[in-house]
Amino acid sequence: GAVVSQHPSRVICKSGTSVKIECRSLDFQATTMFWYRQFPKQSLMLMATSNEGSKATYEQGVEKDKFLINHASLTLSTLTVTSAHPEDSSFYICSATRGGGELFFGEGSRLTVL
Amino acid sequence: RKEVEQDPGPFNVPEGATVAFNCTYSNSASQSFFWYRQDCRKEPKLLMSVYSSGNEDGRFTAQLNRASQYISLLIRDSKLSDSATYLCVVNVAWDKIIFGKGTRLHILP
């Protein structure tokens, strides 16, 4: 099956620093990638939809200047959490689709901001 | 009406029992439907796609009712390992995918 790799799986950073998370589709070209955030015991929340070569579409309430998404190629999208604060601590997951609706998820990145 | 709605549960079900839950969607133009399973602190994994004719995979049966705009998931002979959160996912357009909030299932020994 299709594989999506997400890196890093865990990151701990100091408040005020920026953190970059990578999402790669390893064996297919992803037409669209999605970024989600999940707080403990809550459901996945879509943050933004990213298409290669164009600006990401952010969901309402998600600050685009804080959560920078770059989708430079059909196999790589990055999420940068800028000036991270403790309330940004969460589980961030990416997914990719090659069309047809089925999603392939990365393993997730657990961010802890001290 | 929310775009995709699920009963959050939790459903507490004895091992061996049959359990079913539904997911309703509001957009009649929705194109494809999926059930995902998410274990605690892990990413969601595809459980099964849902086809118009219904489909079965072992103990799991998924059905789609376009007239009433819902999909269902039936789990027979439930196992302890079935305990998880089950997410309903609806593909409204090629780049618009909506997640339900998930239904928590606890299988009791």
Please tell me whether the peptide bond between B14 and the residue prior to it is cis, using omega within 30 degrees of 0. Answer: no
How much of chain B, in percent, has pLDDT values that exceed 70? Answer: 97
CA distances B54 to A1, A2, B61, Å, are: 22, 24, 7
Q: How far is B30 from chain A (nearest CA, A)?
A: 10
Structure tokens at A92: 């961030």
Cβ pair B12, B21 in contact under 8 A: no
pLDDT value, residue A2: 67
CB proximity A49 to B under 8 Å: yes
pLDDT tens-digit map of A5-38: 999 999 999 999 999 999 999 988 888 899 999 8
Contact A103 B46 (CB under 8 A): yes
Is the per-residue pLDDT at A68 higher than 70?
Answer: yes
With cut-offs at 50, 70 and 90, classify the pLDDT of residue B73: very high
Taking one residue from A and the other from B, the number of pairs with CB-CB distance under 8 angstroms is 53
Contact A32 B94 (CB under 8 A): yes
Q: What is the mean pLDDT of chain A?
A: 90
Is the per-residue pLDDT at B88 higher than 80?
Answer: yes
**Burial environment of residue A51 by CB neighbours within 10 A (0 to 12, 13 to 18, 19 or more):** middle
Of B42, B45, B95, the CB nearest to A32: B95
pLDDT value, residue A52: 79
